[in-house]
Amino acid sequence: DADVTQTPRNRITKTGKRIMLECSQTKGHDRMYWYRQDPGLGLRLIYYSFDVKDINKGEISDGYSVSRQAQAKFSLSLESAIPNQTALYFCATSGAGEETQYFGPGTRLLVL
Amino acid sequence: AQKVTQAQTEISVVEKEDVTLDCVYETRDTTYYLFWYKQPPSGELVFLIRRNSFDEQNEISGRYSWNFQKSTSSFNFTITASQVVDSAVYFCAPGAAGNKLTFGGGTRVLVKP
Protein backbone atom coordinates (compact mmCIF):
# COMPACT_ATOMS: atom_id res chain seq x y z
CA ASP A 1 0.00 0.00 0.00
CA ALA A 2 1.10 3.55 -0.73
CA ASP A 3 2.59 5.50 2.17
CA VAL A 4 0.90 8.76 1.15
CA THR A 5 -2.59 8.62 -0.32
CA GLN A 6 -4.78 11.35 -1.74
CA THR A 7 -8.51 11.31 -2.37
CA PRO A 8 -10.05 11.90 -4.77
CA ARG A 9 -7.55 11.34 -7.57
CA ASN A 10 -9.62 13.32 -10.02
CA ARG A 11 -12.36 15.86 -9.43
CA ILE A 12 -14.48 18.08 -11.63
CA THR A 13 -16.43 20.84 -9.93
CA LYS A 14 -18.19 24.06 -10.76
CA THR A 15 -17.29 27.63 -9.93
CA GLY A 16 -18.45 28.59 -6.45
CA LYS A 17 -18.59 25.07 -5.04
CA ARG A 18 -16.77 24.10 -1.86
CA ILE A 19 -14.57 21.06 -2.18
CA MET A 20 -12.16 19.18 0.04
CA LEU A 21 -9.08 17.23 -0.93
CA GLU A 22 -7.84 14.70 1.58
CA CYS A 23 -4.40 13.35 2.34
CA SER A 24 -3.47 10.44 4.57
CA GLN A 25 -0.07 8.99 5.40
CA THR A 26 1.21 5.88 7.10
CA LYS A 27 4.84 7.00 7.32
CA GLY A 28 4.47 8.31 10.86
CA HIS A 29 5.73 11.72 9.80
CA ASP A 30 4.90 14.86 11.76
CA ARG A 31 5.17 17.29 8.87
CA MET A 32 2.67 17.56 6.04
CA TYR A 33 2.38 19.90 3.07
CA TRP A 34 0.03 20.89 0.27
CA TYR A 35 1.39 22.03 -3.10
CA ARG A 36 -0.19 22.91 -6.39
CA GLN A 37 1.28 22.41 -9.84
CA ASP A 38 0.09 24.31 -12.87
CA PRO A 39 0.74 22.91 -16.36
CA GLY A 40 4.36 23.25 -17.38
CA LEU A 41 5.40 24.71 -14.05
CA GLY A 42 6.98 23.59 -10.82
CA LEU A 43 5.17 23.12 -7.54
CA ARG A 44 4.16 25.95 -5.25
CA LEU A 45 3.51 25.61 -1.54
CA ILE A 46 -0.03 26.33 -0.34
CA TYR A 47 0.03 25.35 3.35
CA TYR A 48 2.19 23.28 5.66
CA SER A 49 1.87 21.81 9.12
CA PHE A 50 4.65 20.66 11.42
CA ASP A 51 2.31 18.94 13.87
CA VAL A 52 -1.37 18.69 14.69
CA LYS A 53 -1.51 22.10 16.38
CA ASP A 54 0.66 23.89 13.85
CA ILE A 55 -0.65 25.36 10.57
CA ASN A 56 1.30 27.76 8.37
CA LYS A 57 0.58 29.62 5.16
CA GLY A 58 2.76 28.97 2.18
CA GLU A 59 3.42 30.98 -0.94
CA ILE A 60 -0.12 30.88 -2.36
CA SER A 61 -2.64 30.34 0.46
CA ASP A 62 -5.36 32.78 -0.70
CA GLY A 63 -8.57 30.95 -1.54
CA TYR A 64 -7.55 27.83 0.39
CA SER A 65 -7.86 26.54 3.92
CA VAL A 66 -6.54 23.42 5.64
CA SER A 67 -7.33 21.17 8.55
CA ARG A 68 -4.93 18.83 10.35
CA GLN A 69 -7.36 16.34 11.83
CA ALA A 70 -4.69 13.98 13.12
CA GLN A 71 -0.99 13.34 12.69
CA ALA A 72 -1.78 11.21 9.67
CA LYS A 73 -4.43 13.39 8.00
CA PHE A 74 -4.21 16.79 6.35
CA SER A 75 -7.09 18.19 4.29
CA LEU A 76 -7.16 21.05 1.83
CA SER A 77 -10.38 22.96 1.17
CA LEU A 78 -11.35 25.35 -1.57
CA GLU A 79 -14.11 27.42 0.01
CA SER A 80 -15.45 28.73 -3.29
CA ALA A 81 -13.71 27.19 -6.24
CA ILE A 82 -12.74 29.33 -9.22
CA PRO A 83 -11.41 28.26 -12.64
CA ASN A 84 -7.85 29.42 -12.00
CA GLN A 85 -7.65 26.87 -9.20
CA THR A 86 -7.65 24.19 -11.85
CA ALA A 87 -4.39 22.39 -11.21
CA LEU A 88 -2.69 19.24 -9.97
CA TYR A 89 -2.54 19.17 -6.18
CA PHE A 90 0.07 17.25 -4.23
CA CYS A 91 0.29 16.34 -0.59
CA ALA A 92 3.71 15.59 0.89
CA THR A 93 5.12 14.45 4.22
CA SER A 94 8.47 14.56 5.95
CA GLY A 95 9.88 13.46 9.25
CA ALA A 96 11.28 16.05 11.63
CA GLY A 97 14.99 16.32 10.93
CA GLU A 98 14.80 14.01 7.92
CA GLU A 99 14.28 16.82 5.39
CA THR A 100 13.22 14.66 2.46
CA GLN A 101 9.59 15.14 1.41
CA TYR A 102 7.62 12.21 0.05
CA PHE A 103 4.72 12.98 -2.22
CA GLY A 104 1.30 11.49 -2.73
CA PRO A 105 0.06 10.58 -6.21
CA GLY A 106 -1.69 13.91 -6.75
CA THR A 107 -5.27 15.06 -7.30
CA ARG A 108 -6.26 16.52 -10.66
CA LEU A 109 -8.84 19.24 -10.11
CA LEU A 110 -10.85 20.89 -12.86
CA VAL A 111 -13.01 23.88 -11.99
CA LEU A 112 -15.55 24.74 -14.67
CA ALA B 1 13.03 33.65 -0.23
CA GLN B 2 14.68 31.07 -2.39
CA LYS B 3 14.82 31.03 -6.15
CA VAL B 4 15.64 28.21 -8.53
CA THR B 5 16.55 28.41 -12.20
CA GLN B 6 16.47 25.40 -14.48
CA ALA B 7 17.47 27.04 -17.73
CA GLN B 8 16.93 23.96 -19.89
CA THR B 9 13.24 23.53 -20.57
CA GLU B 10 13.60 20.39 -22.67
CA ILE B 11 16.40 18.00 -23.57
CA SER B 12 16.12 15.29 -26.19
CA VAL B 13 18.65 12.46 -26.39
CA VAL B 14 19.01 9.04 -27.90
CA GLU B 15 19.10 6.06 -25.58
CA LYS B 16 22.48 5.41 -23.95
CA GLU B 17 23.59 9.02 -24.20
CA ASP B 18 24.38 10.88 -20.99
CA VAL B 19 22.12 13.73 -19.89
CA THR B 20 23.15 16.58 -17.60
CA LEU B 21 20.52 18.82 -16.06
CA ASP B 22 21.52 22.24 -14.79
CA CYS B 23 20.21 23.89 -11.64
CA VAL B 24 21.18 27.26 -10.20
CA TYR B 25 19.66 28.45 -6.97
CA GLU B 26 19.59 31.47 -4.70
CA THR B 27 19.21 31.27 -0.95
CA ARG B 28 19.99 33.33 2.10
CA ASP B 29 20.05 30.29 4.35
CA THR B 30 23.46 29.20 5.54
CA THR B 31 22.35 25.61 5.94
CA TYR B 32 20.00 24.04 3.47
CA TYR B 33 19.31 20.93 1.44
CA LEU B 34 19.10 20.37 -2.28
CA PHE B 35 16.87 17.82 -3.92
CA TRP B 36 16.14 16.37 -7.33
CA TYR B 37 12.73 14.90 -8.04
CA LYS B 38 11.47 13.06 -11.12
CA GLN B 39 7.94 13.36 -12.51
CA PRO B 40 7.25 10.66 -15.09
CA PRO B 41 4.33 10.95 -17.54
CA SER B 42 2.08 9.24 -15.00
CA GLY B 43 2.34 12.37 -12.86
CA GLU B 44 3.68 11.26 -9.51
CA LEU B 45 6.74 12.87 -7.93
CA VAL B 46 9.61 10.56 -7.16
CA PHE B 47 12.44 11.53 -4.83
CA LEU B 48 15.85 10.94 -6.43
CA ILE B 49 18.65 12.52 -4.43
CA ARG B 50 19.36 14.87 -1.55
CA ARG B 51 22.48 16.88 -0.77
CA ASN B 52 23.31 18.89 2.35
CA SER B 53 24.76 22.35 1.83
CA PHE B 54 27.65 21.62 4.15
CA ASP B 55 28.77 18.58 2.19
CA GLU B 56 30.11 19.33 -1.27
CA GLN B 57 31.29 15.83 -1.98
CA ASN B 58 29.90 14.69 -5.27
CA GLU B 59 28.55 11.19 -5.49
CA ILE B 60 27.33 8.57 -7.85
CA SER B 61 24.33 6.37 -7.23
CA GLY B 62 23.82 3.85 -9.95
CA ARG B 63 23.28 5.77 -13.18
CA TYR B 64 22.73 9.03 -11.31
CA SER B 65 25.45 11.44 -10.28
CA TRP B 66 25.48 15.03 -9.13
CA ASN B 67 27.84 17.96 -9.01
CA PHE B 68 27.28 20.41 -6.18
CA GLN B 69 29.25 23.66 -6.32
CA LYS B 70 28.35 25.88 -3.38
CA SER B 71 30.56 28.71 -4.63
CA THR B 72 28.49 29.03 -7.81
CA SER B 73 25.18 27.90 -6.25
CA SER B 74 24.81 25.11 -8.75
CA PHE B 75 23.53 21.59 -8.28
CA ASN B 76 23.72 19.72 -11.57
CA PHE B 77 22.38 16.22 -12.10
CA THR B 78 23.57 13.64 -14.61
CA ILE B 79 21.93 10.50 -15.90
CA THR B 80 24.49 8.17 -17.40
CA ALA B 81 23.56 5.83 -20.25
CA SER B 82 20.00 7.12 -20.46
CA GLN B 83 17.08 4.76 -20.96
CA VAL B 84 13.60 5.33 -22.34
CA VAL B 85 12.21 5.00 -18.80
CA ASP B 86 14.21 8.08 -17.83
CA SER B 87 11.84 10.19 -19.93
CA ALA B 88 10.25 12.55 -17.43
CA VAL B 89 10.30 16.06 -16.05
CA TYR B 90 13.06 16.62 -13.52
CA PHE B 91 12.79 19.21 -10.78
CA CYS B 92 15.53 20.77 -8.72
CA ALA B 93 14.38 21.98 -5.30
CA PRO B 94 16.35 23.62 -2.50
CA GLY B 95 14.90 23.16 0.97
CA ALA B 96 14.82 26.04 3.43
CA ALA B 97 14.85 25.66 7.17
CA GLY B 98 11.84 23.63 8.16
CA ASN B 99 11.77 21.64 4.95
CA LYS B 100 9.94 24.17 2.80
CA LEU B 101 10.88 23.34 -0.77
CA THR B 102 11.13 25.78 -3.65
CA PHE B 103 10.78 24.09 -7.02
CA GLY B 104 12.35 25.09 -10.28
CA GLY B 105 10.29 25.09 -13.46
CA GLY B 106 11.56 21.65 -14.39
CA THR B 107 13.46 20.19 -17.32
CA ARG B 108 11.67 17.77 -19.60
CA VAL B 109 13.90 14.90 -20.72
CA LEU B 110 12.91 12.87 -23.73
CA VAL B 111 14.93 9.72 -24.34
CA LYS B 112 14.37 8.24 -27.77
CA PRO B 113 15.02 4.57 -28.49
Residue A73 has pLDDT above 90, yes or no: yes
- What are the strands of the beta sheet with A73-78, ordered from one edge? A4-7, A19-25, A73-78, A64-70
Neighbours of B77 (CB within 10 A): 22
Q: What per-residue string of b and e applies to A52-66 under the rule 16 or more CB within 10 Å gives b?
A: eeebeebeebeebeb
**Could you read off the pLDDT of A88-108 as tens digits, one per residue?**
999 999 987 778 899 999 999
**Could you read off the pLDDT of B5-47 as tens digits, one per residue?**
999 999 999 999 999 999 999 988 888 889 999 999 999 999 9
Residues of A in contact with B99 (CB under 8 A): 31, 33, 48, 94, 99, 101
Say whether residue A105 is in contact with chain B using an 8 A CB cutoff.
yes
Say whether residue B43 is in contact with chain A using an 8 A CB cutoff.
yes
Q: Do A99 and B95 make contact, defined as CB atoms within 8 angstroms?
A: yes
Q: Look at the alpha carbons of B104, B96, A103, B15 in this order and tell me if their dihedral is positive or negative.
A: positive
Residues of A in contact with B101 (CB under 8 A): 43, 45, 101
One-letter amino acid at B3 equals: K
**Could you read off the pLDDT of B95-109 as tens digits, one per residue?**
876 668 899 999 999
- How many Å lie between the alpha carbon of B83 and the closest alpha carbon of chain A? 23
